Structures are given as structure tokens and as C-alpha cells.
Structure 1
Amino acid sequence: MKFTRAACAVAASLASVALVAGCSGSTPGDSAAGADGTGPFTLVIGKDTSGKLQSKVIDLWNKEHPDAKAKVIELPASADEQRAAIVQNFQAHSDRFDAISADVVWTSEFAARGWIQKIDPSGLPIKDMLPAAVKTAQYKGDLYGAPITSAGALLFYRKDLISKPPTTWKDLIDDCRIAKQHNMGCYAGQFAKYEGLTVNATEAINSAGGSVYGSDGSVTVDSPQAKAGLDFLVNGFKQGYIPKSAITYQEEDARRAFQQGKLLFLRNWPYVYSLANAGGSDSVIKGKFGMAPLPGANGVGSTTLGGNNLVLSSYSKHKKSVEQFMAFMESPAVQRVEVEDLSNSPVLTDLYTDKKLVAENPYLPILKEGLLHGAPRPQVPAYDETSLRIQTHVYDALTGKKDTAAALKELAADLRKIPAN
């Protein structure tokens, strides 16, 4: 999964906003809505790049629930355009959007603004899910969504050059001598000034025992532990174990560098596995790389969590049907489809060790280990503003404009100015 978010694509979002303009009280199928909150409903998703959601999932639900069919509204691929359309719908108090597949970082904002409904956890298989995935759907201790996909990063490494993957940052840095011997870069992630930098920075901070916010909502990013985490990245550029060119890397830049044999280690999402193993002119490492959980300061690191939560609009007239659909989406059969046909990571823990799935996706058990140590990005209502502040100060530290301590001190001051609601 990629994490890409521009500052605000207002102009570009106008096309998607047309979906919700003037739609208050105009949900398709309203006449069939039951007094108990049942009836046909809309499911809002980002662009279905697999092209299989309708045939593999929705058609099955609709066949089994002819009186509560789901109609898919597919928004553009851009996360900004998706969010703009969804927010305008909420602000209009429209009932057009019933169920929404929301990026995990939107859940807290939507909950804080009263746009989405609390979910009764007793209707969902919470105990069977990855605890970290469940946490992404919570806000102030309450559940506001049904986790339907998860995502975490892996460490890809050249198994033909090192005997075992590093389990700590020290191990990784020590192995960089091998990269030097082979005239290649040692380690890279995503360090351009965009959402991927927030992901990589919070990952490093959490992997050193730090945090951006405490459990009580207070800003904690100016701690010694957070400094130790950010220092791993800052020192990488200073000392050379992160190549200078990586300051421009997004996901695809980093993937191509690794596939072309220019890196010993790569932090990236599981999608890299199939592409790097495909061979061809864009990959010289087919069969030559392995995967491991991200290393941290003293052991397994804390991957930043991605994925999507299915949330229920507070303005929906079909709440009961949507809640039933949530349970359907978290059933083992549908979760298998998420992996096999939609190329997503599931939220049900047992599927990460399922023999058939692992044979097709050998990274699953490794990813599970990382996800069990994972953490969400800051769960705050003003997430976009928070992320932009993180990107600005971390980028200044990586490029040497300020030292790590100063960058974190200024970041903490900025975060404390952002309204909590």
C-alpha cells in the first residue's frame, strides 16, 4: 500500500464533489428503507485498482441480501479527492453515503466531528483481529469502524550478500560495510517531503520507544526516545548509510533502486515482493532477496500501520444493514478474497499463517510479526495539518537545516498549537 497525500487538491476534487452536490436526503433505494434501519445502502470506496471488488465481494453480498443490496460509489484514486468528496457529503449532513471505506488516518477526524457512528464491538470478531488494526479504528477508547484491511512495512534485504537480516539498527549499520564493498547504497526508505516522510519518521520514533502523542493526547515528540529514533535517519544521511539521493525517494523510487541492485536494504510495503521477483529489465535481484520485520533500536521495530476501516455515516438511514455488512466484510471468506484477489493484507490474525495463502504470499508471517509491533500514525482530528508539520521539521533535520533536538522541539511547539478538536 502507498501513502500519498498532497496538501489539498481542492480544484481537482471538484469532479468527485459532483457526486455529492445537492444530494441531501437523496439516497438511492430510500423508499425501500425499513423502519429498523435496514434496506439498500451505498458503499463508498477509493478507486478499485483490482477491478474485482464487485464480482468477488459485492455480488455475493447482494445475492444473499436482496433487500439490502450494496451499491458501490467509486471515488478517484487520489486520497485528497476522496477525502474532499466524503467531507463535503458529511458537511451537508447528506445520507447519500452510508458505508465508507476510509483510510485509517481519517477515522479519528471523522469520529471527533460526529460524522461517523460508534460501532458495537460485540457484532464483530474483534478477538480474532490484529490488535494494532483494531486500534486504528478506535477514537478515545471507542470503536468507530470495522478494520477491513491492514498494511505494514517490511525490510527487504539482499540474501545473496548477507547471511541473515539485521534485527536492530546497530546490526543494519554494521552490515553497511558489505554495501560499501559492493559499491552500492546501504539503506533507504521514503524521505521526500510528502506523507511517506511522516510514515518513515513516526516509524523510527516509535521504534526507539518514543511517540508523537502520549495516550492522554499530550505532545511527547520532544523526548530523548523520539530523538534517538529520528537520529537513526538523520545520522544515516550524515554518515552515508542512507544515500543522499534517497532524500527524493517515494515508494516507487526506492523500489526501483532496490530492484536495480543499488541498495542492500529497503524499507517498503509488501507489494514490492511480486515486482522484484518478476525479473526483467527493471529487476536484477529476482530470487536474491529476502524479507524481515523492520529493525528497531533494540529489536523488532514498530511499523506504521496503514489500511482501511469501514465506517458508518451518522446520517445513514440504513445503519443496521451497514453493521451487518461490516460483519460480512470481516468474515474469513471475504478476508481471504482481500488477500487472494484484491492484493490487500487481512485483519484476521490466523490468515497470516494460513498454508495456502503463505504459499502464494510468503511475506505474510513476516508481516504479521511486524504488525504485532505496529502503531498507528497520530490519531488526531487535524491529521493533515499534523502530518504537514511533521514533514516540515523532519525534512529540515534530514537536510541539515537544523539539528535533531531543535527540529523536535520546534515540532512539539507547532503541534501544541493545533486545536485538539
Structure 2
Amino acid sequence: MRKRTFLASVATAAALALTPVAALADGHSEKYNLLPGKPFEGTKLNILSVVTPQFDGLMLRDAEFTELTGIETEWTFIPFGSLQEKINAEGIAANGTFDVVNYLDSWGPPNAHWLTRIDDLMARDGISMDRYPAAFARSAQFEGETLGFPLRAHPQLMFYRKDLIPEPPQTWEDVVRIGKELQETNPDISPLALYYNNDGNRQNLFIWINFLWAAGADIFNEDGTAAWASPEGLQATKDYIALHTEHGVTNPNSLAFVEQDARQSFMQGNSAMIPVWWWAYSGFYNPDSSTLTKDQVGFVGMPSYQGTTKTYAISMPFSISSYSENQDAAWEFLKWLSNPEMDKANAVEREVGGKTIVNNVVTHISSLQDEAVNAANDGIQAAAWDSLQQSDIMPQIPEWPEVGDILSAAIAEAAAGGDVEELMTAAAERADKVLRRAGRIE
């Protein structure tokens, strides 16, 4: 079945790639470079997406897509905590239930065998991944090929209580200093909400990797072996863990916290600082979810470590399933869904189809630098653009989920009081066994 589906996919892509470029350029629809004449009218696409207001806003606009193309859409929204299991099940079933799927970037490599490459289609239709920040673009690619578009993507920012912290932290040393001052002046509020829990989604690596990269260390060496147990990597990890075990400036529940718990702690006024994805901003002052007002919430770039700032960026691309029988129509949908006009409108307009949508997530460089987008969102895109200048992504290899789980477990044990050097060295040895078994190292 997989072979037949793959061959059909290749044949479709080849046929489209052979369509004369000049004819396409002359005949495309006026909007979004869609094909003329509604060639896929009557097709129905099934889209699998994570639950988020950003994608609610896109879904509520898709009547325009149907009007332009005659293609109908059916969206299925899945909470993030259940999405990875759903994506894995789709790959195993190989039945094309969903034509377009949404996933976390680090899940792309292990599922790349059933995600359609779109480089030839982009070249045909004049679309370049250069419209995205470099880290976002890389997050939707695997082994030099493009799997989809990073339509939901996040830089990291440090959010803080403006009413409690007059000068936001610029370094992690500042975080510790401010934290200790807050413990004296506001003992009922924890200085910093972190998330050390080994949750299965490797969230406790998200801040740790800032320390690792800034120290000049990395996850893998050039020969593919684990690199985090180097002297620089071990010291960086010790300093990350020390925020909780030595300095005591983290929320005491940080060992049990996942990212959502840390965000709740900040929103409920129980923690004064939180390093987290930029999308969380609107929720931090939403009266339906937070006790804070907008005037109390500030944001800055991520703190530096040892004089260097290098941050982790993440994305959730949309890709076409190679098992889909509607790949041509799905490509039209991706073109419409990913266009820069949509990106901007979805971050500026606050009501779509009679529903309130509050979303600050954009992924195009043009939107990040757009004055109207920044004006509508308190300048958070400009702060994000600065953060993205020195951002990178998790390793894009099929073995990363298994290796990342090993790392995540070690970080959780270290935060609970375990020996950092022993745990991280043992994790490196276990990871090398995984990579050797996979043939990535000798």
C-alpha cells in the first residue's frame, strides 16, 4: 500500500511540475496564486489541526478558499497533549483519512516518510521559504527537503510582572538577583515559574537548551555522538538546574510543572517571571483566564547566559499527507492558508465570522516587521524578531524523540536533586547506543 501511494504521489507531483510555468503565471487566480478554473471543485479536504485561537481564525476564513476554488474543508481540532499520538496513528494507518496534518516540528523526521515534499511545487508557484525566519524555515524541512509550511511558530520571550519588577532581567544572573529581592519584598509570590517535569513532550528541554547553546555546547558532536556531557555542557546544565536546587528562585512546584502549569502560576499571580513562547501573551491578561491586567504584564527578550543569548524556536507545520487522494487540492489549500495577507490579518483583526479571535502569532518576516501588526499587539512581534536573530531548533532526525526523552528524564531527575554530571553523562551514553543502533554513528 505504501509503495502504491508513494508512486501515485510522485506521479502527481511530476505532472504538476511539468505544467508550463508561463501558462501558470498568466492563468493563476488573482488571489494567492491559486490555479484558475477551479480544477478541483467539489473536492473535500480533511484537515487535522491543533486547538488554538490562531487556527480558529483561519478556519473561520475558509469560506473564501471555497469560493475561490470550489474546494470544501472539514477541520478536526485536537488538543496538543493528544496530537502526537494522533499523528503517529495516522502514519501507521496509512489510509489518508486526513489530507493535511499539523504537527510539532520535532515529530516531522520520524513521520517524514508519509509527508509530501513541496519544493518542486513551491518553485513552480514562486514561493520561497525565505519569507520565514531561518529557524522557522528549518523547522519545516528534513534532510534538505521541505515538508510543509511553519504556520504556527514561536520564539521565546521572558514575561514579567511590571508592577513588581521595574527593570526586567537582561541576564540569568539578573533573574537570580531579582528573584532573591522579590523573596524579601513579596514573599507570597514565587520569583520564577519553570517546568522541569518529564511530561513526554520534552518541555523541560526548552529553557535548558538556551543555557547549552549560549555556553558554546551543543546536543550532538560533528560525528553524531551526544555532546551535552562536555565540560561546557555540564556546567550549563548545572546552572540551569541551580535556579531551582541552589538559588531557590523557582516556584516550589516547578518539579511537577509542565509548561501549562507554569503559565497558570503566572496568570494567577503566583509567580512573577516566566520564560515561555510568545503566543502566551494574550492569555496572560485575558480576564477569562488570568487575574492580571495588561498593565501588569511586560515582556523582553530571553536573558543571556555567560554573555551570550541563543534561544530555541519551535514550529507546528502543516503538511500534505502522501496517503491523501487529494494532494493537488491540498496544495491549493496550503497556498491559501499560508499566504502573507492571511498571516497579517489573523494577527490584526479581532473578530472573524462573529467570533472574537485574539492572536499575536505570525510567521512571515513581513508580518513580524509590520507596523500595523506590531501596533495591534503591543510590539511583541518586534521583540520576537529580535529574539529570532539568534535562534535555532531541536535536531531534525528521526531518532530525536527517543533521544530527547532520555535527556528529559535526566533533567527531571537532576532538578529533583540528582547528580547532574552522573545523570547527563549516563544520558549521553544511552543516547549514543540509540544512535549507534540506528546507524547514525559508528
**TM-score (ref. length: structure 1):** 0.81
Alignment of structure 1 residues 7-18 onto 2, 5 Å: none
* Residue 165 (str. 1) matches residue 136 (str. 2): no
Name the counterpart of 1:131. 134
Distance in 2 separating the partners of 1:248 and 1:53? 34
In 1, are the aligned partners of 2:414 and 2:423 still within 8 Å (CA)? yes
Change (3 A) 1:333 1:242: same
In 2, are the aligned partners of 1:132 and 1:376 still within 8 Å (CA)? yes
* Residue 265 (str. 1) matches residue 273 (str. 2): yes
In 1, are the aligned partners of 2:193 and 2:263 still within 8 Å (CA)? no
Distance in 1 separating the partners of 2:288 and 2:50? 28
Name the counterpart of 1:62. 66
Change (3 A) 1:344 1:274: closer
CA deviations on 1:75-118 (whole Å, 9 max, x unpaired) are 532543x344443433344244322222212211112xx21222
In 1, are the aligned partners of 2:50 and 2:102 still within 8 Å (CA)? no
* Residue 406 (str. 1) matches residue 403 (str. 2): no
Provide the identity percentage: 20
Distance in 2 separating the partners of 1:392 and 1:212? 15
Letter of the aligned partner of 1:405 in structure 2? E
Name the counterpart of 2:191. 186
Distance in 2 separating the partners of 1:232 and 1:105? 26
| 1:42 partner SS | strand
Distance in 1 separating the partners of 2:261 and 2:81? 20
* Residue 97 (str. 1) matches residue 113 (str. 2): no
Q: Structure 2: which 5+ runs fail to align?
A: 6-11, 17-38, 349-356
Name the counterpart of 1:225. 232
* Residue 326 (str. 1) matches residue 343 (str. 2): no
Residue 335 of structure 1 is aligned with which of 340, 343, 366? 343
Change (3 A) 1:327 1:229: farther
TM-aligned CA deviation for residue 189 of structure 1: 1.9
Name the counterpart of 1:87. 88
Distance in 2 separating the partners of 1:34 and 1:108? 21
Distance in 2 separating the partners of 1:185 and 1:298? 24
Distance in 2 separating the partners of 1:156 and 1:148? 23
| 2:249 partner SS | coil
* Residue 359 (str. 1) matches residue 345 (str. 2): no
In 2, are the aligned partners of 1:300 and 1:370 still within 8 Å (CA)? no
Name the counterpart of 2:114. 115
In 2, are the aligned partners of 1:132 and 1:374 still within 8 Å (CA)? yes
Higher mean displacement: 199-208 or 138-147: 199-208
Residue 242 of structure 2 is aligned with which of 232, 235, 242? 235
* Residue 288 (str. 1) matches residue 288 (str. 2): no
**TM-score (ref. length: structure 2):** 0.77
Letter of the aligned partner of 1:72 in structure 2? E
| 2:311 partner SS | coil
Change (3 A) 1:102 1:273: closer
In 2, are the aligned partners of 1:259 and 1:285 still within 8 Å (CA)? no
TM-aligned CA deviation for residue 49 of structure 1: 4.3
CA deviations on 1:385-417 (whole Å, 9 max, x unpaired) are 223212211111111122x22121111111112
Change (3 A) 1:185 1:291: same
Q: Structure 1: which 5+ runs fail to align?
A: 1-21, 27-32
Name the counterpart of 2:146. 143
Distance in 2 separating the partners of 1:86 and 1:282? 32
In 2, are the aligned partners of 1:157 and 1:291 still within 8 Å (CA)? yes
CA deviations on 1:319-367 (whole Å, 9 max, x unpaired) are 3333343332221112124434472622101212322222221222112
| 2:103 partner SS | strand
Distance in 2 separating the partners of 1:286 and 1:263? 16
Change (3 A) 1:103 1:43: farther
TM-aligned CA deviation for residue 266 of structure 1: 1.4
Distance in 1 separating the partners of 2:108 and 2:296? 39
Change (3 A) 1:405 1:241: same
State the Cα RMSD in Å: 3.1
Distance in 2 separating the partners of 1:144 and 1:281? 35
| 1:248 partner SS | coil
In 2, are the aligned partners of 1:104 and 1:308 still within 8 Å (CA)? yes
Pairs aligned (count): 387
Higher mean displacement: 217-226 or 141-150: 217-226
CA deviations on 1:228-255 (whole Å, 9 max, x unpaired) are 3322221112221224322222233323
Letter of the aligned partner of 1:169 in structure 2? W
In 1, are the aligned partners of 2:410 and 2:427 still within 8 Å (CA)? yes
Letter of the aligned partner of 1:277 in structure 2? Y
* Residue 198 (str. 1) matches residue 215 (str. 2): no
Distance in 2 separating the partners of 1:366 and 1:273? 12
Higher mean displacement: 303-312 or 278-287: 278-287
CA deviations on 1:264-288 (whole Å, 9 max, x unpaired) are 3211233443333346895256413
| 2:278 partner SS | coil
| 1:245 partner SS | coil
